[in-house]
Amino acid sequence: MSEGGISSDLPEGWAWATLEDVVEVLDHLRVPVSAKERAARTGNVPYYGAAGQVGWIDENIFDEDLVLLGEDGVQFFDADKPKAYLVSGPCWVNNHAHVLRAQVNLVDRRYLAYYLNQFSYEGFANGTTRLKLTKAAMLRIPVILPPLEEQRRIVAMLDGQLSRLEAAEKSLGDAGRRIVLTVRSLLNQYFGSSGVRARGWRCKRLEDVADIRGGQTPRKNSVEFHTEWASGLVPFWKVGDMNGADGRLMARSRTYLSAQQIASAKIRTYPAGTVLLPKRGGAIATNKKRITATVGAFDLNVMGVIPNQGLVSEFLWYWFQTIDLNELSDGSNVPQINKPDLSHLHIPVPSEAEQRSVVRYLDDHLARFDRMQGSISDVRPNWLRASLLQQAFAGLLVPQDPADEPAEAMLARVRVQRQAAGTVRSRRPSARRVAAQRDSVPQAPPLPQPGIPALASATQPTFDLEIPS
């Protein structure tokens, strides 16, 4: 049995509660303000939305320690994305985040934020195009409640461990970037202008040493593509096939044509060793280049560069690694690379023996770098983070202390106090107050004020870190 993806078997002294038991919801105090109105209300008070700070404003609605939980516009079903974050001091919150005041004698707000960020929102957040967590659904969220002192020990342990994990992620990211820079430096030794001059290599225009071709797309319904390879079929490559290649060679495709289909549709095929690259659209930004491992054809969104005799395909491919396709595209709304964009480029063309020697040397060194990159990729910080949180909410991260007041006793005491005090609700801002705020807006935007801080993020108890590619 489980709640929100967590086992319902709790350690001694822990208890199940609902979010309604442990917080006071202050959503009725929220006031959304448009970006245009905020621009006329320049100030240094943070303005918060679903996932963090989205601007500044001239006055505050809240001035206390709170937990904000996204109402909509949050990736509730992505375990690695934050849903809740902490705010302190003066602030303004719009209607895209639930505002939660933790019952300080029952739950530590930092513990609550950690918990809400790892909770599974399946069955609680709903929607088609935009997920939404309603107030009613939110209040039903089951909360694992350890003794208050144990909550604080858990938070201290998570803060320390996740801080070290963040530092490790940064180190891994730095290592990955150093590898990329080293590879670029290695390529420049051969294909950069100084490297070419030092070796006395002669450069030629690409159009003089290779055939540059655009692809063809058969007329609609003129051929029926095969989706599985069989003897006698040749690949018909598209941009998407580059994603499934090993980084260099392409042998298989998602679509194939027979020799008869190729002849009837008058489609030209190209030899193995053709270097393919994206010709139009957003795929140009991926900067992918691939070498065909077999005879094949390609569509209009792909361009092929077929090396002439005397130019080695792998040497051509390595040279292309120094070319940024984005700089060659025309910069239109739908970027495109045409033959003239490539024709004028100059490529060094040493003897075939020298080209093959360079290829062997680069293959050897880049294989080492690939292994290093693979080692970095094998470290999965998100898995480690998830494991830490799982241990935390299973009572395995810190020791229990029998002297701690059990959670059931805390809950019972708070319920008695609530019954005795009655339900106290914060009053919704009156129409008069909202009107007064609107009337206080200057008719023209004020002059820029010195000392107003730049946009900052709220303190979040979880980390959303990714190792750079």
Per-residue pLDDT for the chain (469 aa), expressed as one digit of tens each? 344 444 457 899 999 999 999 999 999 999 999 888 999 998 999 999 999 999 999 999 999 999 999 999 889 998 888 999 999 999 999 999 999 999 999 999 999 999 999 999 999 999 877 899 999 999 999 999 999 999 999 999 999 988 888 877 777 777 777 777 888 888 888 898 888 888 999 999 999 999 999 999 888 777 888 989 888 899 999 999 988 666 789 888 999 999 999 988 899 999 999 999 999 988 999 899 999 999 999 999 999 999 999 999 999 999 999 999 999 987 777 899 999 999 999 999 999 999 999 999 998 888 877 777 666 565 566 677 888 888 899 999 899 999 999 999 999 988 888 888 775 444 444 444 444 444 443 333 333 333 433 333 343 333 232 333 3
Neighbours of 254 (CB within 10 A): 14
User: Which candidate, 122, 117, 179, places its Cα nearest to that of 463?
Assistant: 117
464, 118 contact by CB (below 8 A)? no
Question: 202-349: CATH homologous superfamily?
Answer: DNA methylase specificity domains (3.90.220.20)
CA gap 431, 25 in Å, rounded: 21
Residue 126 carries which DSSP code? B
pLDDT at 157: 93
- Domain segments of the chain as ranges: 2-162+397-439, 202-349
Domain 2-162+397-439 falls in which CATH fold?
Adenine-n6-DNA-methyltransferase TaqI; Chain A, domain 2 (3.90.220)
Closest CA to 311 of 362, 351, 271, 252: 351
List the 45-48 sheet strands across, edge first. Answer: 53-57, 45-48, 90-93, 62-63
Least Cα distance to 71 among 136, 21, 18, 6 occurs for 136
pTM: 0.57
Q: What is the model's pLDDT at position 423?
A: 52
CB neighbours (10 Å) of residue 378?
7
pLDDT on residue 459: 39
Helix (H) or strand (E) holding 68: strand 66-70
pLDDT attached to residue 1: 38
Instruction: Identify the sign of the CA torsion 42, 46, 48, 53.
Output: positive
